[in-house]
């Protein structure tokens, strides 16, 4: 298997149950290197569960998941290696409140990549500058606004220099005026060539940045295609219904 052309993420007939509830049904999805995929769908469709299976925050019961060529199993050491190559940004930011912004960003490089502290701090400042908040480095997360916290979360994930970035509804918990600053950061990241899988309701972002939009409903992938095709020429009734609800006023 040549490493240059293998897909970044491969999901092969993935099934997951929460007890009796079947939340992922035969999901098959490939994400190529440098591809940007937006996953959308109504609430309860399994899109968050899907993305959390990719870095094994949730475990799948059937099917296979390959991240960067390696299969996701219960092997903890391989798992930690995979997770250090996959960055994740959460809806509720999940910054570490007992550490400063700088320490939040340098923690993983120092303790996982064994980087010396000075080098890690320089790296962190580089990414904090890239998300446009270098002056907040010595503050604590509780002192920042939501938009700033989310940008720190993005910088923290980027400090591990991941190959893939996962976004789980990154702007859903933000006030409207802060959504733009986070989306701008994500657009800049996309344009720099990062492989991204993003669960979001921001269809404007999808139109601008996504190579492919995947629509999920009740645990299965219903339709997928380019943003233009999906929004202007939806094939299935379920997608038509979803679009009518979400694009009301767009």
Strand partners, 167: 89, 198
| Window 22-81: residues binding other proteins (CB under 8 A) | 55, 57, 76, 80-81
Asked if 18 touches other proteins (CB under 8 A), the answer is no
**Axis crossing angle, helix 146-158 with helix 101-111, rounded to the nearest 10:** 20
User: Smaller CB distance to other proteins: residue 57 or 187?
Assistant: 57
User: Cα separation of 172 and 133, whole Å?
Assistant: 21
CB of 236 to other proteins, least distance (A): 33
Q: How far apart are CA 211 and CA 8, in angstroms?
A: 14
User: Of 157 and 206, which has the nearer Cβ to other proteins?
Assistant: 157
Q: Per rule CB under 8 A, is residue 228 in the interface with other proteins?
A: no
According to CB under 8 A, which residues from 167 to 226 bind other proteins? Answer: none
d(CA 145, CA 205) in angstroms, rounded, equals 22
Rg (C-alpha) for the chain, rounded Å, is 18
- We find the least distance from the C-beta atom of residue 202 to other proteins, in angstroms, to be 21
The answer for residues whose C-beta is within 8 angstroms of residue 111's C-beta and 6 or more apart is: none
| Look-up of token digits 């994500």 | 186
Q: Smallest distance, Å, CB 234 to other proteins?
A: 33
* 19 binds other proteins per the rule CB under 8 A: no
User: Among 22-30, 36-44, 90-98, 215-223, which window interacts with other proteins (CB under 8 A)?
Assistant: 90-98
* Partners of 223 in the β-ladder: 215
Number of residues forming the site for other proteins (CB under 8 A): 29
Rounded distance, CA 41 to CA 239, Å? 8
Binding span for other proteins by CB under 8 A among 1-9, 115-123, 155-163, 239-247 = 155-163
All residues at 6 or more sequence positions from 39 whose CB lies less than 8 Å from its CB, including other chains: 47, 50, 51, 197, 198, 199, 213, 214, 216
Contacts with other proteins in 93-152 (CB under 8 A)? 94-99, 107-108, 111-112, 140, 142
- For other proteins, give the closer residue by CB, 18 or 96: 96
Q: In terms of CB distance, is 13 or 161 closer to other proteins? A: 161
Positions touching other proteins (CB under 8 A) are: 55, 57, 76, 80-88, 90, 92, 94-99, 107-108, 111-112, 140, 142, 156-157, 160
């Amino acid at each position: 298997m040549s490493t240059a052309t293998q897909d970044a993420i491969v999901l092969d007939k993935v099934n997951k149950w929460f007890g009796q509830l079947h939340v992922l049904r035969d999901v098959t999805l490939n994400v190529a290197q440098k591809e940007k995929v937006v996953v959308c769908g109504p609430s309860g469709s399994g899109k968050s569960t899907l993305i959390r299976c990719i870095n094994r925050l949730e475990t799948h019961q059937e099917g296979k998941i390959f991240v960067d060529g390696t299969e996701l199993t219960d092997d903890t050491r391989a798992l930690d290696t995979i997770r250090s190559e996959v960055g994740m940004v959460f809806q509720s930011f999940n910054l570490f409140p007992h550490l400063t912004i700088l320490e939040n960003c340098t923690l993983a490089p120092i303790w996982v990549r064994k980087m010396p502290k000075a080098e890690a701090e320089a790296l962190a400042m580089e990414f904090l500058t890239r998300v446009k908040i270098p002056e907040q480095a010595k503050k604590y997360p509780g002192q920042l606004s939501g938009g700033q916290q989310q940008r720190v979360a993005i910088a923290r994930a980027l400090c591990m220099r991941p190959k893939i970035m996962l976004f789980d509804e990154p702007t859903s918990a933000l006030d409207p005026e802060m959504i733009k600053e986070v989306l701008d950061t994500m657009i800049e990241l996309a344009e720099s060539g990062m492989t991204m899988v993003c669960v979001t309701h921001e269809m404007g972002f999808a139109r601008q940045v996504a190579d492919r939009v995947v629509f999920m409903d009740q645990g299965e992938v219903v339709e997928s295609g380019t943003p233009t095709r999906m929004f202007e020429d939806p094939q299935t009734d379920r997608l038509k219904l979803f679009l009518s609800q979400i694009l009301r006023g767009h």
